[in-house]
């Protein structure tokens, strides 16, 4: 039993990560692939077929590395972003790839206008709005659709042939039948919600052959990557927080009540709530900087990241007077400024790339700290903060974030989302009697980041906020 492994697929906005964990939660191997973005004018999308091909190649690399014996894999589970819509036909072929632009905006507004927004599951409404958009713009193609699936659930479909989702990724519970009828969407077109720790099906022979695995392996439903991140960071119960330093920088608090006026992301099944806020693209700012100032390649990215992280740690707080606003795609929390844009301020003739990189880390952290303050106002002070996402590997970023928000941060190994999915699968397979037991046995804190003196960043944060406010007149007209 100690050799038993769980394979996980974590499909994020920027990367797909394939990982294997033993039933004690130890990461045995991880391979990632960067997702490819396609653009044509104002339209932007990714290819679902790319996702599957990357899942196959990454799994093959994981097995070929020798650390993972496919015969020891006893279960598969998934984590992934929500908001995507993959259209597949009767032959299980992708007929419409998931887009991330706003072509469906009018249909979404129509749904929101006719519904009590407090009870509306935004991810569920978004999927329906994309169905409505395709039906109005290409009714013939829309008529061919057999299933419309969320991102991770497309991979689940390829693995098992089952069209299943979890509440947090989509409808936030059972689908609202009245809403389906109003949108003229058949219940069979959308995936069936089940609990993250349910078994959705078993690995079919076609997927098993492609992945190099044994067919018939149980596949757990898994969950939205935010739920998986909280679970993998031991932040799954009221009073506990997770901060994700990924493509987006996100604060998520677990509550057993719904605070008035709070931004509720989704439910944590079966009866808890995730309250939070999102610093759009704040984490992606690091990749953006490496790409544009250093010409980073995927192969050399981690080494460059480590080198810059060490260099930034030797630079004093304040980054030599440079301020960075991480609004590469606007701001949605704690203030809604969709037209806000990223900027460097305070550059001088002797400003270097290391100082600019430090400013990127500080800017992302100040943006996140503003959201953290709002969330604590709704959900109360945290009893525990687990840090997840690729940014958890940055000693410099995690230390300055702890210094700014003045709370200790618990770190594991940067694979929290996958571990959360593995925890759900381990629970489903009966390795542990409850989710709480699985978390207790499969999550280990590798390091605790203790905040430094309270006043270090107070004036710098006020200066950052003043610079941010001064740019409002230059927001892009939306």
- Give Cα 161 distance to the centre of its chain: 24
Quickly count: other Cβ atoms within 10 Å of residue 381's Cβ.
10
CA distance 35 to 51: 7
CA distance 115 to 464: 38
Q: Give φ, ψ of 333 to 5 degrees.
A: -155, 150
Quickly count: other Cβ atoms within 10 Å of residue 383's Cβ.
11
- Give the sheet arrangement for strand 409-411, strand by strand: 264-268, 272-279, 249-255, 240-245, 384-388, 409-411, 447-449
CA distance 62 to 69: 9
| Biggest distance spanned by C-alpha atoms of the chain | 63
3-state secondary structure the chain: CCCCEEEEEEECCCEEEEEEEECCCCEEEEEEEECCCEEECCEEECCHHHHHHHHHHHHHHHHHCCCCCHHHEEEEEEEECCCCCEEEECCCCEEECCECCCCCHHHHHHHHHCCCHHHCCHHHHHHHHHHHHHHHHCHHHHHHEEEEECHHHHHHHHHHCCCEECCCCCCCCCCCHHHHHHCCCCHHHCCEECCCCCEEEECCHHHHHHHCCCCCCEEECCEEHHHHHHHHCCCCCCCEEEEEECCCEEEEEEECCCCCCCCEEEEECCCEEEEEEEECCCCHHHHHHHHHHHCCCCCCHHHHHHHHHHHHHCCCCCHHHCEEECCECEECCCCCECCCCCEEECCCCCCCHHHHHHHHHHHHHHHHHHHHHHHHHHHCCCCEEEEECHHHHCHHHHHHHHHHHCCCEEECCCCHHHHHHHHHHHHHCCCCCCHHHHHHHHCCCCEEECCCCCCCCHHHHHHHHHHHHHCHHHCCCC
Quickly count: other Cβ atoms within 10 Å of residue 67's Cβ.
13
CA distance 390 to 373: 23
Q: Are 6 and 77 in contact (CB under 8 A)?
A: yes
Exposure string over 414-435, b if 16+ CB within 10 A, otherwise e: bbbbbbbbbbbbbbbbebbeeb
Of 160, 273, 284, 283, which Cα lies nearest the Cα of 227?
Answer: 273
The CATH code for residues 5-225 is 3.30.420.40
Q: Which two tokens stand for residue 182?
A: 């109003």
Quickly count: other Cβ atoms within 10 Å of residue 192's Cβ.
17
**Residue 277, C-beta contacts closer than 8 angstroms, at least 6 positions apart:** 250, 251, 263, 332, 333, 334, 371, 372, 374, 375
pLDDT by residue for the chain (478 residues), tens only, comes to 679 999 999 999 999 999 999 999 999 999 999 999 999 999 999 999 999 999 999 999 999 978 899 999 999 999 999 889 999 999 999 999 999 999 999 999 999 998 776 678 889 999 999 999 999 999 999 999 999 999 999 999 999 999 999 999 999 999 999 999 999 999 999 999 999 999 999 999 999 999 999 999 999 999 999 999 999 999 999 999 999 998 899 999 999 999 999 999 999 999 999 999 999 999 999 999 999 999 888 778 889 999 999 999 999 999 999 999 999 999 999 999 999 999 999 999 999 999 999 999 999 999 999 999 999 999 999 999 999 988 998 999 999 999 999 999 999 877 899 999 999 999 999 999 999 999 999 998 889 999 999 999 999 999 999 999 999 999 998 6
As annotated, the residues of the chain forming the CATH 3.30.420.40 domain(s) are 5-225, 234-411+446-478
CA distance 172 to 269: 9
Domain formed by 234-411+446-478, architecture: 2-Layer Sandwich (3.30)
Question: What is the reported pTM?
Answer: 0.92
pLDDT at 457: 96
CA distance 33 to 18: 9
Quickly count: other Cβ atoms within 10 Å of residue 18's Cβ.
27
Looking only at the bridges linking them, the beta strands covering 38-40 and 43-45 are antiparallel
Bond from prior residue into 435 cis (ω within 30 degrees of 0): no
CA distance 296 to 308: 12
pLDDT at 117: 64
CA distance 19 to 373: 33
């Amino acid at each position: 039993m100690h050799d038993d492994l769980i394979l996980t697929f974590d499909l994020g906005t920027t990367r797909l990560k394939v990982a294997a964990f033993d039933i004690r939660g130890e990461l045995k191997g991880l391979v990632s692939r960067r997702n490819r973005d396609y653009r044509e004018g104002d339209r932007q999308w990714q290819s679902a077929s790319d996702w599957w091909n990357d899942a196959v190649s990454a799994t093959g690399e994981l097995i070929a590395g020798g650390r993972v014996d496919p015969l020891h894999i006893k279960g598969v589970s998934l984590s992934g972003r929500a908001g995507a819509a993959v259209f597949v036909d009767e032959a299980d072929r992708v007929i419409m790839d998931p887009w991330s632009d706003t072509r469906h905006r009018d249909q979404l507004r129509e749904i929101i206008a006719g519904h009590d927004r407090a009870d509306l599951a935004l991810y569920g409404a978004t999927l329906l709005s994309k169905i409505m958009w395709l039906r109005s713009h290409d009714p013939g193609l829309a008529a061919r659709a057999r299933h419309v699936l969320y991102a991770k659930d497309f991979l689940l479909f390829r693995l098992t042939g089952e069209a299943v989702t979890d509440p947090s990724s989509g409808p936030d519970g059972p689908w609202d039948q009245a809403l389906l009828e109003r949108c003229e969407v058949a219940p069979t077109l959308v995936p069936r919600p089940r609990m993250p720790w349910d078994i959705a099906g078993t690995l079919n022979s076609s997927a098993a052959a492609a992945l190099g695995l044994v067919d018939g392996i149980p596949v757990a439903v898994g969950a939205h990557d935010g739920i998986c991140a909280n679970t993998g960071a031991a932040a799954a119960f009221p009073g506990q927080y997770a901060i994700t330093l990924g493509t987006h920088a996100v604060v998520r608090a677990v509550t057993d009540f719904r605070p008035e006026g709070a931004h509720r992301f989704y439910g944590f099944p079966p009866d808890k709530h995730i309250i939070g806020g999102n610093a759009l693209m704040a984490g992606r700012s690091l990749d953006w900087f490496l790409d544009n100032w250093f010409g980073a390649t995927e192969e050399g990215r981690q080494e460059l990241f480590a080198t810059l992280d060490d260099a930034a740690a030797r630079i004093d707080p304040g980054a030599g007077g440079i301020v960075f606003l991480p609004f590469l795609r606007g701001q949605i929390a704690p203030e809604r400024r969709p037209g806000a844009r990223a900027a460097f301020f305070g550059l001088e003739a002797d400003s270097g790339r290391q100082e600019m990189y430090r400013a990127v880390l500080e800017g992302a952290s100040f943006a996140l700290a503003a959201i953290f303050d709002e969330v604590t106002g709704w959900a109360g002070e945290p009893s525990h903060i687990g840090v997840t996402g690729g940014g958890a590997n940055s000693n410099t970023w995690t230390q300055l974030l702890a210094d700014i928000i003045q709370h200790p941060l618990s770190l594991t190994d940067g694979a929290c989302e996958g571990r959360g999915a593995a925890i759900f699968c381990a629970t489903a397979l009966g390795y542990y009697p409850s989710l709480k037991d699985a978390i207790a046995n499969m999550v280990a804190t590798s390091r605790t980041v203790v905040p430094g003196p309270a006043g270090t960043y107070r004036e710098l944060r006020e200066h950052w906020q003043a610079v941010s406010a001064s740019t409002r007149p230059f927001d892009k007209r939306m």
